[in-house]
Amino acid sequence: MAGDVLQVEASITNARAAVCERCSAVLLGEQKPLFVRSATTGNRRVCGDCFKHYQVKSSSKRVEYSGEPTGDASAQTVKIGTSIKENVNRAQRGEFEGHKVVKAISGRKPATMPLRVPTAVKILFPEHLRFRINGALGYSDAHEVYKECQKFYHERAMVAGNTELVTLQATMCHVSGTQFKAIGDVMTVISHVNVHVGCHDLHSILYAFLLPRWLKYSRNVKLLLTDTSLANDNHAEILPRIPDINAIKDKCYVSKGVKKVQSLITRPLKLYLHIESTKVQEAEFRRIEYSEQDAPEINVTVAYTASKRSTSTSKRKRRTVSTSSAMLSGSDLDSDDSDSAAGVRKKKKVAVIEESALEVECTHGRSPATVTHPVAIPDPPFSFDSIRLALSQQSIVQKRSLNIETLPCTIYVLPKWSWPELLNDPVKCQDLRGNFEGVETTISFNPKQTPRQGSFKMALTDCSTAEVILGTSTNVCLKRCFIRSLDGSISMLPEDRQYNELSRELNCIVWAKVLLDMVYQFIARKDEACSTRPSFTIPQLRFVDAALVVARRNNHEELYMMEERIGGSGPDSDRNFMKYICNNSGRPILLRGSSLHASERNQCARFLSFAQHVQYLRTAKLAFTSDFQGAGNLLTDPQIITSPLIYLANFSSDLGDQLFARGNVAFEKMLETHECTDNEFCQYYKLSRHNFGSA
């Protein structure tokens, strides 16, 4: 049926108007779509090439029309269509005077249709996931991204007309000599990927799908998107095109038949994600740390006892069995003593631990104990990782609130420095945000928990990170500084002052770590020089790992100091927290009584008092650490006490308010109250009040 078409120049009002509704060509620059109305094809806005096609179409007659559509186009369809028919009829009768008539002669060879312009297909990677993978993700977050990404591409695959889909086989590998070697089981299959996907989006897809498998394999070694590169099945790097589309299209089609018809491949397309060999070495080192080789080998002597009815060869035998090579089952240990049908009593196997075969690690102050009594050997032999995981989950679970708040954040972890490095660049750790690179992650906490208040800081103990950042656990403690008014009320410091105060507290931890290492180095040198060791145990203590947290809430930044959580988060956790030495005295705080707990705690307090003596001497009588407190082998919230000679050397009377933190007071008190007579550490290493001037 003959169609009637009119041309109207339309203005672009939105993004949809800039695309030809016939060939999907994108109109750029000054190009504008041309409005076409027809009784057969409906209303369209087309490009210039498609409009010329309608002009030379042989099956209809057209006339030029100068009017523009106004208002709703659908409401004017009937009115304009009637007007078109009237004009066509008048033109055919020769009554349409004063207007130029365009006439097509029926029966001629139809005009060639213009080629369709291929749309620049871009399979976008989800923006909210792209933002998340730019940082270092832990296993939980990476697995969530993996599931969201998988759901995203499955939903896109169900869209009508989206038929050019392939399956990818993604593998992570690294260079080993002259070959590329796959990394363990870090591989996966990704379905429903469009063949027109670009290089950058394809890179993000492989990274999001392989990241959780890498974190599981490497025991949480951080891997950023920028640490990886995308490669094809020949291990050649895939680079983006202009525009960034069709990164793998050439590999997705095969020619079939005599006519060489192009059809999609049915097998998975192999792609690789390359990483540096240094990351693989770090992962292998981490895996060795948690392997079964770290488990102590237990030598077990098994005695076989047979009855008198046994044969002459049934004598008492002894052999040594290692847990790494053989284990006894529960049925062997609990054999039935009743006679069998053949009249022969079954053998009984008794497992006995040899003397000095197994030593149990004890807390400081106690000698290793030797287990000599009979023990049962577990069956079946579970792996070291499974046993360690089960034991680590045996803490008493407190009542947990379901009202958990999670915030995205950037974490700046304190570096591990030595004494020479600290002296060469003493101010670098005072600005963690400006001098170090942060880690992007999330932090969760219970906003309804009751914070614990100290002299200057307030702590939230029921907090956790999405991945292990500090120490060996995701459980952390968040601290903020506050100010107390005259009426007793407290208020948090503004963020600019909060950053300054938290930076000073973190700087104290850096110096306290270095000064404590100085004490252990002093002990090692003295023991090596004397070729002897003390009869008592040296407590192995350390300060908590800490970091600066910049959390984001509603486009607003909140600053926290994050530390390893010590003593737990329950109401009884304060029971294990101890104060060893105050910052206004050099005398250790000792407990009364002769219990094992009091003995070990008092020994730690005397050791830290000895540490102050060593630090005072090794820093040329200018500084030492005080305000020792903590639980177990972890210490927290130290104060660095400095000598007044520093103020005189800087010719400033108010310098003391700016050195370290607000607890830098009472330097002379340590000299007045320090006790060496009753301190076994000072006595053994020949430190006394008379040699304060020499080390």
- Asked, for residue 1, whether it belongs to a domain, the answer is no
Could you tell me if 278 and 189 lie in one domain? yes
Give the model confidence (pLDDT) of 635-660 as tens digits.
Answer: 999 988 888 777 655 544 444 456 77
**Domain interval for residue 48:** 6-102
Judged by DSSP in three states, 433 sits in helix
Confidence of residue 418 (pLDDT cuts 50, 70, 90): confident
Could you tell me if 280 and 302 lie in one domain? no
b/e code 177-208 from CB counts within 10 Å (16+ = b): eeeeeebeebbbebebbbbbbbbbbbbbbbbb
Q: Residue 559: its pLDDT value, please?
A: 92
Residue 384 token pair: 């070291």
Could you tell me if 431 and 355 lie in one domain? no
- Asked, for residue 301, whether it belongs to a domain, the answer is yes
Could you tell me if 611 and 687 lie in one domain? yes
Q: Is the pLDDT of residue 169 over 50?
A: yes
Across the range 103-127, mean pLDDT stands at 49
* Whole-number Å distance between alpha carbons of 384 and 375: 19
The single-letter code of the amino acid at 677 is T
Confidence of residue 689 (pLDDT cuts 50, 70, 90): confident
Q: Return the DSSP state at 645.
A: H
Higher-scoring residue by pLDDT: 208, 105: 208
Residue 82 token pair: 């009637």
CB 303 within 8 A of CB 318: yes
Across the range 473-484, mean pLDDT stands at 88
* Whole-number Å distance between alpha carbons of 332 and 315: 18
CATH of the domain at 684: 3.20.200.10
Q: Residue 129: its pLDDT value, please?
A: 65
Q: Which of 78-92, 293-307, 616-630 has the highest mean pLDDT?
A: 616-630
Distance of alpha carbon 327 from the chain centroid:
38
Cα-Cα-Cα-Cα dihedral sign, residues 568, 571, 572, 578: positive
Could you tell me if 242 and 314 lie in one domain? no
Confidence of residue 357 (pLDDT cuts 50, 70, 90): very low
- Asked, for residue 228, whether it belongs to a domain, the answer is yes
Residue 351 token pair: 């497992």
* Those residues with Cβ within 8 angstroms of residue 357's Cβ, 6 or more apart along the chain or in another chain: 298, 299, 300, 301, 371
- Asked, for residue 121, whether it belongs to a domain, the answer is no
Could you tell me if 246 and 365 lie in one domain? no
Q: What DSSP letter does each residue of 482-532 carry, written as one string?
A: EEE-TTS-EEEPPHHHHHHHHHHHHHHHHHHHHHHHHHHHHHHHHHHHHT-
Q: Residue 266: its pLDDT value, please?
A: 84
Confidence of residue 662 (pLDDT cuts 50, 70, 90): low
Closest listed residue to residue 621, CA positions, set 687, 671, 675: 671
Confidence of residue 478 (pLDDT cuts 50, 70, 90): very high
Q: Is the pLDDT of residue 193 over 80?
A: yes
Across the range 520-532, mean pLDDT stands at 89
Cα-Cα-Cα-Cα dihedral sign, residues 441, 632, 613, 457: positive
Residue 672 token pair: 């007045």
Q: Residue 245: its pLDDT value, please?
A: 84
How many CA atoms does the CB half-sphere of 332 hold within 13 Å? 16
Q: Residue 274: its pLDDT value, please?
A: 93
Could you tell me if 379 and 415 lie in one domain? no
Could you tell me if 280 and 304 lie in one domain? no
- The number of residues making up the chain comes to 695
Could you tell me if 266 and 314 lie in one domain? no
Measuring CA to CA, how many Å separate 66 from each of 53, 63, 653? 19, 10, 89
Q: Residue 40: its pLDDT value, please?
A: 65
Confidence of residue 255 (pLDDT cuts 50, 70, 90): confident
- Asked, for residue 309, whether it belongs to a domain, the answer is yes
Could you tell me if 324 and 210 lie in one domain? no
Confidence of residue 690 (pLDDT cuts 50, 70, 90): confident
- Asked, for residue 117, whether it belongs to a domain, the answer is no
CB 471 within 8 A of CB 627: no
CB 362 within 8 A of CB 308: no
Q: Residue 389: its pLDDT value, please?
A: 67
Q: Is the pLDDT of residue 353 over 50?
A: no
Measured from the Cβ of residue 622, the count of other Cβ atoms closer than 10 Å reads 16
Confidence of residue 551 (pLDDT cuts 50, 70, 90): very high
- Asked, for residue 415, whether it belongs to a domain, the answer is yes
Measuring CA to CA, how many Å separate 439 from each of 67, 414, 602? 62, 12, 39
Q: Residue 305: its pLDDT value, please?
A: 38
Measured from the Cβ of residue 228, the count of other Cβ atoms closer than 10 Å reads 21
Q: Residue 415: its pLDDT value, please?
A: 87
Q: Residue 228: its pLDDT value, please?
A: 92
Measured from the Cβ of residue 232, the count of other Cβ atoms closer than 10 Å reads 16
Confidence of residue 542 (pLDDT cuts 50, 70, 90): very high
Q: Is the pLDDT of residue 501 over 80?
A: yes
* Whole-number Å distance between alpha carbons of 162 and 592: 78
Across the range 421-439, mean pLDDT stands at 85
Measured from the Cβ of residue 694, the count of other Cβ atoms closer than 10 Å reads 7
Beta strands 556-564; 475-484: pairing state: antiparallel
The single-letter code of the amino acid at 603 is Q
Give the bridge partners for 165, in sequence order: 194
Could you tell me if 279 and 308 lie in one domain? no
Q: Is the pLDDT of residue 458 over 60?
A: yes
Across the range 464-485, mean pLDDT stands at 87
CA angle, corner 122, sides to 121 and 127, nearest 5? Answer: 155
Could you tell me if 253 and 375 lie in one domain? no
Cα-Cα-Cα-Cα dihedral sign, residues 556, 557, 558, 564: positive
Q: Return the DSSP state at 534.
A: -
Higher-scoring residue by pLDDT: 98, 590: 590
Average pLDDT, the chain: 73
Q: Return the DSSP state at 158.
A: T
CB 559 within 8 A of CB 495: yes
Measured from the Cβ of residue 606, the count of other Cβ atoms closer than 10 Å reads 21
Measuring CA to CA, how many Å separate 641 from each of 414, 583, 627, 664? 21, 8, 9, 5
Confidence of residue 21 (pLDDT cuts 50, 70, 90): confident
Q: Residue 29: its pLDDT value, please?
A: 66
Residue 53 token pair: 């096609």
CB 478 within 8 A of CB 445: yes
Q: Which range has the worst mean pLDDT, 174-188, 383-397, 648-662? A: 648-662
Closest listed residue to residue 69, CA positions, set 61, 59, 79: 79
Q: Is the pLDDT of residue 570 over 50?
A: yes
Instruction: Please tell me the total count of domains within the chain.
Output: 4
Across the range 329-350, mean pLDDT stands at 42
Higher-scoring residue by pLDDT: 600, 302: 600
- Asked, for residue 114, whether it belongs to a domain, the answer is no
Q: Residue 1: its pLDDT value, please?
A: 44
Q: Which of 32-41, 399-408, 579-588 has the highest mean pLDDT?
A: 579-588
Across the range 295-310, mean pLDDT stands at 40
Question: Model's pTM, two decimal places?
Answer: 0.45
